[in-house]
Chains A and B, each alone.
Chain A
Amino acid sequence: MALFEEQLTEVRNLLDGWRGSGSGRDFDCSAREPWPDGPSLVLEEETALELGNPSAASISLLIWSEGGGVEDGKVTLVGPDVAEAASASVPFGQVVIAGGTFPDEYESYRDVRDAVYDTRLAGFSVRTMPSRQSVWCRVSRDAAGRGFSLVDLGAALIDSLKSLDGVSGAQVVFVTAGVDEVKKLAGAAAGAQRIVDAMMKMYSEENYDCETCEYQDVCDTVMDLKKIRQKLAEGKGSG
């Protein structure tokens, strides 16, 4: 099985469901005017909308596909956009899918991840907690007043990813429809995180003893991880 194949299938099934029920709205942002970059501090009193506050549900997921199927330039909103939210704080799910070729998995992952982490937009603050797979954002009243939309965020993430070598396309899904809808992403997010953690462990600890590794179950399922392990072990042996 390819690295994030299971999570990709899960997300695509969710997308089909949301679109089928009419709760998923698609936006093509390929020709969208970019929202300006800017400082990322938004205090509570300046906030028009908070997404994924630590006391609310929040799930963030970053995966890639080498086998095609990425709907390049597409942002899908499941739930209200910034101007449509009925309350000042909403649960938040964010799925970022990059498409292309990722030959050096660890370096590729770090590049893709950093492109997401380093996306900074004026009037928008974003904070990420990788171990909780959560993301916490605030949209300032000023930005909301100037028409900031989650589609602008999606477009910025897609642009940032496509500036990387090897990335040929990207799509983003945002879920604000409610706790239950956001939590539908939990399985895919946890699975992706386990794969990333296993990969990080291989590279950082250089320990390839499967018998003592807590990620053995992950590698047993995701064959690409075994290939990475084999490549690293051979590299260590020849070094």
Chain B
Amino acid sequence: MILSVCGKGGVGKTTVSAVAAQALSREDGRRALVVDADPAGGLAVALGLEPRKTLNDVRKEIIEEVKAGGRDEKDLAVSLDYLLAEALTEQGNLALLSIGRPEDAGCYCKVNVILKDAIEGLAGRFDATIIDAEAGIEQVNRKVLSSVDYVLLVSDTSAKAVKVARTIKGVADQMIGGQGTGLLVNRARDADEAGAVERGTDLDVLGWVPEDDTVRRFDGEELSFLELPDCPARAAIVTALEKTGLI
């Protein structure tokens, strides 16, 4: 199963993704790929992992391979498999792949297609894949996430964040199609505030996550969410993830 966590910037996607990764890390026998698709790289920090190489580094190396010539598609495919494995940061049953920040100019559509195929192939070897998507609709719109099974929309209680979530669902329905979609309302003061959000949207609301001092402390002190203890926010996120079928 491939689950992508999407939403407006600053609503807590990375926290939800990190808790999802932690929940999967506790499931013996299941191997999970965690993709930090936000160029800011917040998920790696949240998990206390330090990638030595990013997907963008892999992309640059493959471009150099293409430029050097003498490599057919099969050579490039096995090279990409090798480089992607080098880019994985492993922790127990988890493997993190960070997208990194593209710095070079120019169009490398063919390389990007090869990369997308390779990531989908890589995801196919894991039991579950979580993608912490870039804020907004761009990655969905550009079909970067075309093989996602479930789009977990995250918003806070602001009308703007819920509206962005609604927009993302519309784009996902058009560009992906057939995927599951649900909204998780993050950082609600109480059930009344979360209920108000639910009444104001046609999105399927999976649940709401309370403000939580433990999560705030882990964020503030850059502690690894892989060590996050049981707390109300964690429990709410895990309950929502169970509804998606991820865990």
The B60-87 residues at the A interface (CB cut-off 8 A) are 65, 68-72, 74-75, 78-79, 81-83, 85-86
Q: CB-CB < 8 A to B86: which residues of A?
A: 54
Best-surrounded residue of B69, B75, B79 (most CB of chain A within 10 A): B75
Q: Number of B interface residues at 8 Å Cβ cutoff, please give it.
A: 22
Q: CB-CB < 8 A to B81: which residues of A?
A: 127-128
Q: How far is the CA of A205 from the CA of B71 in the complex (A)?
A: 11
Q: CB-CB < 8 A to A130: which residues of B?
A: 71, 75, 78-79
Contact A43 B95 (CB under 8 A): yes
Contact A44 B79 (CB under 8 A): no
Contact A117 B90 (CB under 8 A): no
Contact B72 A40 (CB under 8 A): no
Binds B, one of A25-33, A78-86, A196-204: A196-204
Q: CB-CB < 8 A to B147: which residues of A?
A: none
Chain B's closest residue to A128 (CB) is B78
The yes or no answer to B92 lying at the interface (CB within 8 A) is yes
Known interface pairs A39-B125, A129-B83; A204-B74 also in contact (CB < 8 Å): no
Q: Number of A interface residues at 8 Å Cβ cutoff, please give it.
A: 24
Known interface pairs A43-B95, A45-B90; A204-B70 also in contact (CB < 8 Å): yes
Q: How far is the CA of A42 from the CA of B81 in the complex (A)?
A: 13
The yes or no answer to A227 lying at the interface (CB within 8 A) is no
Q: How far is the CA of A40 from the CA of B122 in the complex (A)?
A: 11
Q: How far is the CA of A134 from the CA of B83 in the complex (A)?
A: 12
Q: How far is the CA of A40 from the CA of B125 in the complex (A)?
A: 8
Q: How far is the CA of A127 from the CA of B31 in the complex (A)?
A: 19
The yes or no answer to A136 lying at the interface (CB within 8 A) is yes
Query: A108-121 CB contact bits vs B (8 Å, 1 = yes)?
Result: 00100110010000
The yes or no answer to B126 lying at the interface (CB within 8 A) is yes
Q: CB-CB < 8 A to B65: which residues of A?
A: 131
The A115-171 residues at the B interface (CB cut-off 8 A) are 117, 127-131, 134, 136
Q: How far is the CA of A44 from the CA of B91 in the complex (A)?
A: 8
Chain B's closest residue to A202 (CB) is B70
Contact B79 A129 (CB under 8 A): yes
Q: How far is the CA of A197 from the CA of B71 in the complex (A)?
A: 8
Q: How far is the CA of A41 from the CA of B93 in the complex (A)?
A: 12
Chain B's closest residue to A114 (CB) is B74
Point out the residue from B31, B71, B72 that lies within 8 Å of A41, measured CB to CB: B31
Q: How far is the CA of A154 from the CA of B220 in the complex (A)?
A: 53
Contact A110 B69 (CB under 8 A): no
Contact B72 A117 (CB under 8 A): no
Q: CB-CB < 8 A to A134: which residues of B?
A: 82
Point out the residue from B70, B85, B92, B95 that lies within 8 Å of A197, measured CB to CB: B70
Chain A's closest residue to B76 (CB) is A130
Chain A's closest residue to B31 (CB) is A43
| Least distance between B161 CB and chain A CB atoms (Å) | 36
Chain A's closest residue to B53 (CB) is A54
Q: CB-CB < 8 A to A39: which residues of B?
A: 125
Q: CB-CB < 8 A to B126: which residues of A?
A: 41
Contact B68 A131 (CB under 8 A): yes
Q: How far is the CA of A136 from the CA of B84 in the complex (A)?
A: 12
Point out the residue from B69, B70, B82, B95 that lies within 8 Å of A128, measured CB to CB: B82
The B108-136 residues at the A interface (CB cut-off 8 A) are 125-126
Q: How far is the CA of A136 from the CA of B79 in the complex (A)?
A: 11
Chain A's closest residue to B69 (CB) is A201
Known interface pairs A43-B95, A44-B90; A127-B82 also in contact (CB < 8 Å): yes
Chain B's closest residue to A130 (CB) is B75
Point out the residue from A45, A114, A117, A200 that lies within 8 Å of B70, measured CB to CB: A200
Point out the residue from A127, A131, A201 that lies within 8 Å of B85, measured CB to CB: A127
Q: CB-CB < 8 A to B79: which residues of A?
A: 128-131
26 sampled A-B residue pairs with Cβ under 8 A = A40-B125, A41-B31, A41-B125, A43-B90, A43-B93, A45-B90, A45-B92, A110-B74, A113-B74, A114-B74, A117-B78, A127-B78, A127-B82, A127-B85, A128-B79, A128-B81, A128-B82, A130-B71, A130-B78, A130-B79, A131-B71, A136-B82, A200-B69, A200-B71, A204-B70, A204-B72
Closest 4 CB pairs of A and B: A41-B125, A127-B82, A200-B70, A129-B82
